[in-house]
Chain A
Amino acid sequence: MPRPLQDQTLPGWFSNPVRLAVGLVLALHLSSCREETRVERATREKILLLGNGAEPKALDPHLVSSVGDSNILRALFEGLVTYHPENDSLNEPGVAERWESNADFSEWRFYLRDDARWSNGDPVTAQDFVYSYQRILHPEMGSPYASMLYFLKNAEAFNRGDLKDFAEVGVKAEGERVLVCTLVGPAPFFPDVVKHTSWLPVHRGTIEKFGKMTDPYTPWQKPGNHVSNGAFMLTDWRINAHVKVRKNPHYWDAANVKPNGIDFLPLESPFTEEKAFRNGLIHLSYSMPESLIGEYKALPDSPLHIETYAGSYFYRCNVTKKPTDNADFRRALAYAIDREVIVKYVTLGGQTPATAFTPPSEGGYQPPKVISFDPAKAREYLRKAGYASGAEVPEFTILINTLESHRNIAMAIQDMWKKNLGIEKVKIENQEWKVFQQTTQDLNYDVSRAGWIGDYVDPNTFLGIWVTGDSNNYTGWSNPDYDRLMRESSHLSDPAARYAKLAEAETVLMDGMPILPLYWYTRVYLLHPDVRNWHPLLLDNHPYKHIDLIPSGEGGSL
């Protein structure tokens, strides 16, 4: 029996009590004799049903920063360069057909395709990109991710309000089809950077129909008003219920867009998501309860996927405060942690024990193998730090944000420091997320939990935050050698030479040890076999237009 239409906002029988009662009975009846699950039907209609973590904060590329939000934006918008479906260190042409740089990678020219269209049919021009970059960088916009555009010459000064004339910022349109970006310095990886959501264009006419360029929160983002230039366009958005996007008929490559649409479902609890997956309500989950990983692993043809993810879990050390101001003491802490035990018995998601900060990428950057579990070495460093035994170490605290999994890791480490170094007085303190952020940013901690996810594939997205003056450092650590090596690396065109230089910089970082790397992330999720062309990606930024839905039950091979 067919179920009610998908696109209603409320069930039809919602409006009056009699029909409600009938609906109740009907719902019982329908679900007991239903022939196809929601997922099976969606596969037939080629609609991808996707668990997407938390409710999106906005659908404006200049306002958002979370992973879930950028998933939706990637479906709605297309940047100059886009992600390759199989390898996210490769670049696919987006609005730009091709691009080139000058000899030292400080000036980039993007040649825009002439058939790129907004979802209302308007052409996408180089001026649209200039307008968008002016908008995100405008001081009155207060865009949280504006710093991603600091690669452009004078962008930071304009964003801070020190420079009033946007014409001096390093982005120009030459005619309708050529966009020229002049950078603050060489950046061989620049095409990787412009794939990020903060570099997506917005439609000027739409923005200004609902307010000034810099009005951040106008109704332009609502269905009906929203105009985008990607493979999909916004058709429905209901808070905490769904964001629905459907094929954009004006998209230049519309003929090759495989799905007819995507429903992004904000199921924040991993347990609910897992049940929704089992119940045939979603094709793909955003996360997975750790406690069920083992059970799923044991299944034949398991829908469980565990893939490397460009993220690093680590502890920050406050180098401005005793006892963590002593580098030998920090080294002692680092070598006394058995990371194998943590990933094997605590985190359970197949994570890789970290040997440095930056996660390795296949065929790309390999971080130095500095850190290991070596209790003898750890004790030696403890002595060098001036402590005859762990008992002499003054009390200090591991600060975590309130979450069971962080606490479990902290407890394991507390125990390892006790066992391997004899440090008795380690406290664990949890703070609620916003308070935790404040405490960490104010350097009011001793050791603080942290995670860092790459914004783009290049190791610069990881190593860049430890350069002196970077706003994400929060450790008080700074090293002129490190800054010099990072600067030198940006002038190297040959990837191998550049990676070698970056590895040298990372060795300096690991020698200073302002952070205790713990493990490199994995993405653990459930994937329905109907979903095809879904490949493991380091940043997990899937270009949805390539994803196909084919019933796996009907002779489709897995």
Chain B
Amino acid sequence: MDSLRYLLSRLAQSVFALFCIITLTFFLARLAPGGPFLDEKKIPEHLVEQMKRNYGFDKPLPLQYVRYLGLLLQGDLGPSFGNKGFTVNEVIAEGFPVSFVLGICGLAIALAIGIPVGVMAAARRNTALDYSLMALAMLGICLPTFVIAPLLGEIFALKLGWFDVALWENSSAWILGAVTLGLYYSAYIARLTRGSMLDVLNQDFIRTARAKGVPPLTILFKHAFRGGVSPVVAFLGPALAGLISGSFVVESVFGLPGLGQHFIKAVTNRDYWLINGTVTVLATLILTMNFLVDILQAWLDPRTRANR
């Protein structure tokens, strides 16, 4: 019963947060200076007025907001004016699978590298191995994706010819994109894993196990690992949401048609509905992931449950 109440209250919090985000985004986008109907070649005033009427922008803002919420409840995110003839739903539906593949593969790479590295560094704490692994991880965090991505392209696509350097269809460039994202996140995960593994390894029950003569590898994997990766799981929620919602840099470097480009372009184009739509999708993703992670953590670490 308790845990059900906990779940429901977490759900209510999430929905409330989503509502606030949607509302805030709607008004902030409208308050930004400039507007969608400005171009280098001037669009005559009477035509701008007409375009505003075509989109219902001539109505008072609160009314537009209410209408927007109404449409949103029906799952209609509105038209996009940066991509005329497409609805925001269609734009997101086309971009999402690309970002999803990039994100999932990126995350898999990040975990496959990050966790073993973190565990290894923790097991060999304060040795040359630990220092060099952590130095590498620090480097990975510091090197921005806009340096890594072109570098990977230059080496693995143009020098070695293993992959294509750009484009999506029939192209292997997305693999380089996933690797870029994976490397970036793996550095975080490695540091996070090391830190929490060290915490666990310093605890009494580990010392007891050692004293009882349990083999070091068994201690590491059977006793310490589950507690040690718990913070990583907490990090996974926002990380996965971030990965799936796309990375503008990776997409533009490898010419991939994911969601990340829309995030940036929607804002520069003042494509109001696309701004709202992409933010709503990202917010929903993050909130859902966090919600799931909370449940997963409760399962991983009984104390989280007991403490509530």
**Contact present for A221 and B85 (CB under 8 Å):** yes
**Contact present for B40 and A4 (CB under 8 Å):** no
Residues of B within 8 A of A34 (CB): 161
Which one of B42, B54, B83 contacts A441 once the chains associate, using CB atoms below 8 Å?
A: B42
**Contact present for B84 and A441 (CB under 8 Å):** no
- B14 CB within 8 Å of chain A: no
Residues of B within 8 A of A57 (CB): 82-84
**Contact present for B85 and A218 (CB under 8 Å):** yes
Q: Mark B157-172, 1 if CB is under 8 A from A, else 0.
A: 1100111111111111
Which residues 64-100 of B have a CB within 8 angstroms of A? 79, 81-86, 90-91, 94-95, 97
Which residues 55-80 of A have a CB within 8 angstroms of B? 55, 57-60, 63, 65
Knowing A239-B86, A239-B95, A432-B34, say if A28 contacts B252 (CB, 8 Å).
Answer: no
A-B contact count (CB 8 A): 183
**Contact present for A59 and B85 (CB under 8 Å):** yes
- B212 CB within 8 Å of chain A: no
Q: Mark B21-54, 1 if CB is under 8 A from A, else 0.
A: 0000000000001111111111110111011011
Q: Which residue of B lies closest to A471 (CB)?
A: B42
Which one of A59, A144, A265 contacts B167 once the chains associate, using CB atoms below 8 Å?
A: A265
A218 to B95, CA, bound (A): 21
Interface pick from A201-209, A273-281, A415-423, A518-526: A273-281
**Contact present for B54 and A142 (CB under 8 Å):** yes
Minimum Cβ distance to chain A for residue B125 (Å) = 35
Residues of A within 8 A of B168 (CB): 241
Residues of B within 8 A of A10 (CB): 97, 169
Residues of A within 8 A of B94 (CB): 238-240
**Contact present for B46 and A267 (CB under 8 Å):** no
- B268 CB within 8 Å of chain A: yes
Knowing A142-B51, A238-B94, say if A281 contacts B166 (CB, 8 Å).
Answer: yes
* A-B contacts, 28 listed (Cβ < 8 Å): A8-B170, A11-B169, A31-B163, A57-B83, A58-B85, A60-B84, A139-B46, A142-B54, A144-B37, A146-B44, A160-B44, A160-B46, A220-B85, A221-B84, A240-B95, A240-B261, A241-B169, A265-B167, A266-B255, A267-B255, A269-B252, A269-B255, A279-B158, A281-B167, A432-B268, A434-B36, A437-B34, A438-B34
Q: Which residue of A lies closest to B170 (CB)?
A: A4
Q: Give 7 A-B pairs besides A20-B101, A31-B161 with Cβ atoms closer than 8 angstroms.
A: A139-B46, A160-B46, A238-B94, A240-B95, A278-B165, A434-B38, A435-B34
Residues of B within 8 A of A30 (CB): 172
Residues of B within 8 A of A159 (CB): 44, 46-47
Minimum Cβ distance to chain A for residue B144 (Å) = 15
Residues of B within 8 A of A224 (CB): none
Knowing A57-B84, A269-B253, A272-B252, say if A139 contacts B43 (CB, 8 Å).
Answer: no
A379 to B124, CA, bound (A): 73
Which residues 214-232 of B have a CB within 8 angstroms of A? none
**Contact present for A434 and B34 (CB under 8 Å):** yes
Which residues 170-214 of A have a CB within 8 angstroms of B? none
**Contact present for B169 and A437 (CB under 8 Å):** no
- A542 CB within 8 Å of chain B: no
- B257 CB within 8 Å of chain A: yes
Q: Which residue of A lies closest to B34 (CB)?
A: A434
A436 to B154, CA, bound (A): 35
- A296 CB within 8 Å of chain B: no
Nearest 4 interchain pairs by C-beta? A434-B34, A240-B257, A142-B50, A58-B84
Residues of B within 8 A of A275 (CB): 150, 153-154, 157-158, 165-166
Decide if the interface of chain B is mainly helix, strand, loop or mixed: loop
**Contact present for A139 and B255 (CB under 8 Å):** no
- B279 CB within 8 Å of chain A: no
Residues of B within 8 A of A242 (CB): 169
Knowing A28-B172, A142-B54, A272-B255, say if A472 contacts B97 (CB, 8 Å).
Answer: no
List residues of chain A with CB under 8 Å of any chain B CB: 3-6, 8-11, 14, 20, 24, 27-28, 30-32, 34, 38, 55, 57-60, 63, 65, 139-147, 159-161, 216-222, 238-242, 265-269, 271-272, 275-276, 278-279, 281, 432-438, 441, 450-451, 471-472, 474
A216 to B166, CA, bound (A): 33
A60 to B84, CA, bound (A): 9
Residues of B within 8 A of A160 (CB): 44, 46
Residues of B within 8 A of A433 (CB): 34, 268
Q: Mark B136-168, 1 if CB is under 8 A from A, else 0.
A: 000000000000001001100110011111111
Knowing A221-B84, A281-B165, A472-B42, say if A143 contacts B47 (CB, 8 Å).
Answer: yes
A20 to B34, CA, bound (A): 44
A506 to B104, CA, bound (A): 60
Minimum Cβ distance to chain B for residue A21 (Å) = 10
Residues of B within 8 A of A146 (CB): 44, 47
Residues of B within 8 A of A269 (CB): 252-253, 255
A249 to B46, CA, bound (A): 41
Which one of A8, A14, A434 contacts B35 once the chains associate, using CB atoms below 8 Å?
A: A434
**Contact present for A222 and B85 (CB under 8 Å):** yes
Residues of B within 8 A of A4 (CB): 170
**Contact present for B166 and A219 (CB under 8 Å):** no
A349 to B85, CA, bound (A): 36
Interface centre among B36, B40, B168 (most CB of A within 10 A): B40
Minimum Cβ distance to chain B for residue A213 (Å) = 13
- B175 CB within 8 Å of chain A: yes
A60 to B251, CA, bound (A): 27
Interface centre among B48, B171, B251, B254 (most CB of A within 10 A): B171
Q: Which residue of A lies closest to B83 (CB)?
A: A239
Q: Mark B251-270, 1 if CB is under 8 A from A, else 0.
A: 11111111001100100111
Minimum Cβ distance to chain B for residue A134 (Å) = 15
Residues of B within 8 A of A147 (CB): 44
Knowing A278-B158, A435-B34, A438-B35, say if A6 contacts B170 (CB, 8 Å).
Answer: yes
Which one of A5, A140, A267, A471 contacts B44 once the chains associate, using CB atoms below 8 Å?
A: A471
A276 to B95, CA, bound (A): 21
Residues of A within 8 A of B53 (CB): 142
Interface centre among B81, B85, B94 (most CB of A within 10 A): B85
Q: Which residue of B lies closest to A221 (CB)?
A: B85
A278 to B169, CA, bound (A): 18
A525 to B86, CA, bound (A): 31
Residues of B within 8 A of A59 (CB): 85
Minimum Cβ distance to chain A for residue B220 (Å) = 29
Residues of B within 8 A of A139 (CB): 46-47, 50
